[in-house]
């Protein structure tokens, strides 16, 4: 891309940022949002990196590119991406997108559908400002998968789809709170490496790029404290919408949560999503609910002579 400008609205959902790209992104070939996600990675991966990485963003930033959808019932199409690549869906990001669409005057309170690479989701902007997202069909793919990780301990967990691929396990004694973050990142990286070495994948050999750890909640509500390592080495500041969806799918498969019952996920910062599901045979349609806030808006500039117009790769420094 030569010199160019990208218009954005920044939001955060339960502490996790979403940079909503509103205008200025180059044309993407393809009709479906999944095809246009592939075109984004093929033709404009440098711009993806420049939008989210330092010096314009930071490693933990997720972006949501707003596009017109060719599906009549959808208010927009959305491609989510982070510092290392594209995501199938993003729950916290979808909540941020709804708040951004409202700010742009494109939607009012009530329901609207969005097309994502993982499928169509139905969102509701409630009068109190919270947003519900009925996510794509989610399911448990493999149960009780045991792995021996680098430090020699065994971790057993489930593989599930919630719009992204997750491996979900109990935290082996590391407390899910801000001071445990570095240790949790290391542990989840070990788990991801062990999954790769053991050839454990999602459907059709898809890599499992999200690792989710749980700890019990010290309160009456049914739920967990959770930590999610995203693709790359960043952790989700929110309780992770697709991770909550994958957890609900596992609870349904185990018969541990009934359709319609409420489930709470609390992230490492203490912020929470409430959720429930509708069963569809062995799979489910999850709904997660949370809030997002507008935190900024403006234009990103990408000057041709800027040595960092496509960002700084902090992972490989």
236 binds ligand PYC (CB under 6 A): yes
Site string for ligand PYC, 138-167 (x = CB under 6 A): --------------------------x---
240 is known as an active-site residue: yes
Nearest to 188 by CA among 227, 158, 240: 227
**Residue (238 or 275) nearer to ligand PYC, CB:** 238
- For the chain, how many helices (H) and strands (E)? 5, 17
74 is known as an active-site residue: no
Q: Which of 90, 112, 230, 250 is catalytic?
A: 90
* Size, binding site for ligand PYC by CB under 6 A: 13
Tokens coding 75? 């208010």
CA–CA separation, 176 and 64 (whole Å): 27
E-assigned strands of the chain?
Answer: 4-13, 16-23, 62-67, 74-81, 86-87, 110-116, 119-125, 131-134, 139-148, 154-161, 165-170, 210-216, 223-229, 263-266, 272-280, 283-290, 292-302
CA–CA separation, 144 and 61 (whole Å): 32
CB of 96 to ligand PYC, least distance (A): 9
230 binds ligand PYC (CB under 6 A): yes
Identified binder of ligand PYC from the candidate list 9, 20, 51, 62, rule CB under 6 A: 62
90 binds ligand PYC (CB under 6 A): yes
Helix (H, G, I), strand (E, B) or coil at 32: coil
CB of 139 to ligand PYC, least distance (A): 16
Identified binder of ligand PYC from the candidate list 19, 44, 92, 289, rule CB under 6 A: 92
242 binds ligand PYC (CB under 6 A): yes
**Residue (195 or 230) nearer to ligand PYC, CB:** 230
CA–CA separation, 144 and 294 (whole Å): 40
Give the footprint of ligand PYC on this chain (CB under 6 A): 16, 62, 87, 90-92, 164, 230, 236, 238, 240-242
Catalytic sites, residue numbers: 90, 240
């Amino acid at each position: 891309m030569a010199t160019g400008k990208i218009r954005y609205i920044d939001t955060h959902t339960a502490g996790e940022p979403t940079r909503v790209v509103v205008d200025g992104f180059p044309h993407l070939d393809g009709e479906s949002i999944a095809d246009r996600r592939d075109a984004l990675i093929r033709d404009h991966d440098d711009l993806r990196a420049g939008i989210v990485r330092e010096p314009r963003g930071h490693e933990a930033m997720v972006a949501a590119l707003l596009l017109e959808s060719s599906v009549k019932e959808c208010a927009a199409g959305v491609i989510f991406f982070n510092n290392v690549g594209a995501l199938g869906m993003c729950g916290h990001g979808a909540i941020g997108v709804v708040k951004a669409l409202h700010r742009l005057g494109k939607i009012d309170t009530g329901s609207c559908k969005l097309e994502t690479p993982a499928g169509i989701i139905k969102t509701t902007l409630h009068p109190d400002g919270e947003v519900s997202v009925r996510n794509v069909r989610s399911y448990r793919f493999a149960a009780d998968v045991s792995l021996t990780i680098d430090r020699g301990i065994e971790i057993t967990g489930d593989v599930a789809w919630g719009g992204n691929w997750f491996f979900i396990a109990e935290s082996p004694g590391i407390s899910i709170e801000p001071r445990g973050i570095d240790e949790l990142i290391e542990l989840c990286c070990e788990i991801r490496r062990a999954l790769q070495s053991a050839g454990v994948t999602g459907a059709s050999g898809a890599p499992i790029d999200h690792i989710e750890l749980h700890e019990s909640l010290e309160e009456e509500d049914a739920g967990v404290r959770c930590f999610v390592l995203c693709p790359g080495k960043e952790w989700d500041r929110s309780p992770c919408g697709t991770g909550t969806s994958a957890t609900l799918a596992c609870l349904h498969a185990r018969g541990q949560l009934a359709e319609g019952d409420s489930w709470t996920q609390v992230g490492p910062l203490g912020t929470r999503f409430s959720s429930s599901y509708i069963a569809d045979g062995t799979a489910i349609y999850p709904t997660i609910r949370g809030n997002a806030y507008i935190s900024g808006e403006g234009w990103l500039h990408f000057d041709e002579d800027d040595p960092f117009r496509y960002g700084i790769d902090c992972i490989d420094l």
